[in-house]
């Protein structure tokens, strides 16, 4: 398993596709699966559009609309909205590997989603051969 660390801003999607591709290449697995996972409760991993940055902008806007911060929330840390975004988006992605490469569509990128930064974060890439 490979561990990556990153510094995040308050609310952003960081493209981590290149790091995941490197980890897959280093693993030397021809056919298998790649798990990208983050060990956080206010961050997530997702796959989405890598060409038009407006898509990520709109995704952030929709997540903020769906999960606004509310005074009625009980969690004392004040970041319940970020916990909800993390659960809905999910903390991992599982991507097939074929011919030694990630099977990603032309417009797909892998993103680390920060919902409650700035923070120092981690994500892991585990490659499983078949
Ligand atoms: Zn919290």
Question: Tens of pLDDT along 117-130?
Answer: 999 999 999 999 97
Centroid of ligand 1 to alpha carbon of 62 (angstroms): 21
Centroid of ligand 1 to alpha carbon of 113 (angstroms): 16
Query: Of the candidates 102, 93, 92, which has an alpha carbon nearest to the alpha carbon of residue 32?
Result: 102
Centroid of ligand 1 to alpha carbon of 23 (angstroms): 30
Check if the beta carbon of residue 33 is closer than 8 Å to that of residue 130.
yes
The predicted-structure confidence for 1-27, as pLDDT tens digits, reads as follows 999 999 999 999 999 999 999 999 999
Collect all residues with Cβ–Cβ distance below 8 Å to 74 and sequence separation of at least 6.
80
Q: Which band of pLDDT confidence, cut at 50, 70 and 90, is reported for residue 36?
A: very high
Centroid of ligand 1 to alpha carbon of 51 (angstroms): 32
Collect all residues with Cβ–Cβ distance below 8 Å to 130 and sequence separation of at least 6.
31, 32, 33
Phi, then psi, of 47 in degrees rounded to 5: -115, 130
Centroid of ligand 1 to alpha carbon of 116 (angstroms): 9
Burial code (b: 16+ CB inside 10 Å, e: under 16) for 5-28 equals: ebebeebebbebbebbbebbeebe
* Ordered domains of the chain (ranges, CATH): 2-129 (2.60.120.460)
DSSP lists the bridge partners of residue 128 as: 33
Which pTM does this prediction carry?
A: 0.96
Centroid of ligand 1 to alpha carbon of 81 (angstroms): 9
The predicted-structure confidence for 47-97, as pLDDT tens digits, reads as follows 999 999 999 999 999 999 999 999 999 999 999 999 999 999 999 999 999
Q: SS3 for 27?
A: helix
Centroid of ligand 1 to alpha carbon of 18 (angstroms): 30
Centroid of ligand 1 to alpha carbon of 15 (angstroms): 24
Burial of 32 (0-12, 13-18, 19+ CB in 10 A): middle
């Amino acid at each position: 398993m490979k561990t990556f660390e990153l510094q995040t801003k308050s609310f952003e999607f960081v493209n981590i596709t290149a790091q995941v591709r490197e980890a897959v290449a280093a693993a030397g697995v021809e056919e298998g699966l790649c798990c990208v996972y983050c060990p956080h409760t206010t961050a997530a991993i997702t796959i989405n559009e890598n060409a038009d940055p407006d898509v990520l902008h709109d995704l952030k806007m929709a997540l903020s609309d769906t999960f606004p911060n509310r005074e009625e929330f009980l969690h004392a840390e004040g970041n319940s909205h970020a916990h909800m975004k993390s659960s809905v988006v999910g903390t991992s992605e599982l991507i097939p590997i074929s011919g030694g490469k990630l099977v990603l569509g032309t417009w797909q990128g892998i993103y680390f989603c920060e919902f409650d930064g700035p923070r120092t974060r981690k994500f892991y890439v585990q490659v499983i051969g078949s």
